[in-house]
Structure 1
């Protein structure tokens, strides 16, 4: 069964894993495989294969990541929920051949659809609706 508490735990676990750059096998259990769609500004990923490609790309590009969740609102309907997530994302990136890394800071508005799973809710749809740069942020 999906609850607000289980959704909040999923959100918190998700961003902790991203910040730590956990191994893909430790993260993929948070998303469904069949029917997974993840829409990011740079690409749309589908299923574990697409998610894995995106995850490997971002964990090799960004470092010193911190995600700070600022709001989570849920609309639960049985075994499915629509979740709005507001998160501040800050990271560092090095774009060769620049002599120094660059700081990135963005406020993201996201919509997730989560479904019940055996071990708690899992992400089925993940959409980045908007990504607003913070003052002083380098461009993505």
Structure 2
């Protein structure tokens, strides 16, 4: 008889750990398949400045484009505030993002720095694993002094 799996309840620390894993993976430019493990399989919606993307295919399209465009990325996680209601959490995230970008044929790359305000919906993994991102919305990007424009 197959063993039943149960979901782990969401907690503030588990949601923060998810955010830390997410940004570490983005900074390392982990493979799309690896980063996708932090996302739900069904009902995924991601709203970035580059557009709205649905599902793992949409994520892979966005992620492939930004990995080719930005390098030396560094995300510094600030606030992660989770409002947990049952099996879902609405999460407010503040993160500082720094990166470099080269626009051919420019002689030099450009430095980018932004404070991002985001809202996520996080749910527990059905297989009993940790929390997963279901919706990800970049509400606003505030440029840091000296940053090139996106």
TM-score, normalised by the number of residues in structure 1: 0.98
**Counterpart position of 1:120:** 130
CA displacement 1:48-67 (0-9 Å, x = unmatched): 00000001111111000000
Match of 2:62 among 54, 57, 80: 54
**Counterpart position of 1:134:** 144
**Counterpart position of 2:24:** 16
Bigger Cα Rg: 2
TM-score, normalised by the number of residues in structure 2: 0.92
For the residues of structure 2 that align with 1:109 and 1:51, how far apart are their CA atoms? 19
| CA RMSD across the alignment | 0.6
For the residues of structure 1 that align with 2:81 and 2:11, how far apart are their CA atoms? 12
For the residues of structure 1 that align with 2:68 and 2:122, how far apart are their CA atoms? 27
Task: Give the SS at the match of 1:106.
Answer: strand
Residue 96 of structure 2 is aligned to residue 88 of structure 1 = yes
Query: How many equivalent residue pairs?
Result: 140
For the residues of structure 1 that align with 2:79 and 2:97, how far apart are their CA atoms? 13
Moved runs in structure 1, 4+ residues, more than 2 A?
none
Q: State the Cα distance separating 1:113 from its structure 2 match.
A: 0.1
Give 5+ residue unaligned stretches, structure 1. none
Q: State the Cα distance separating 1:7 from its structure 2 match.
A: 0.4
For the residues of structure 2 that align with 1:78 and 1:134, how far apart are their CA atoms? 37
Match of 1:64 among 61, 72, 79: 72
**Counterpart position of 1:97:** 105
Q: State the Cα distance separating 1:33 from its structure 2 match.
A: 2.4
Task: Give the SS at the match of 1:30.
Answer: coil
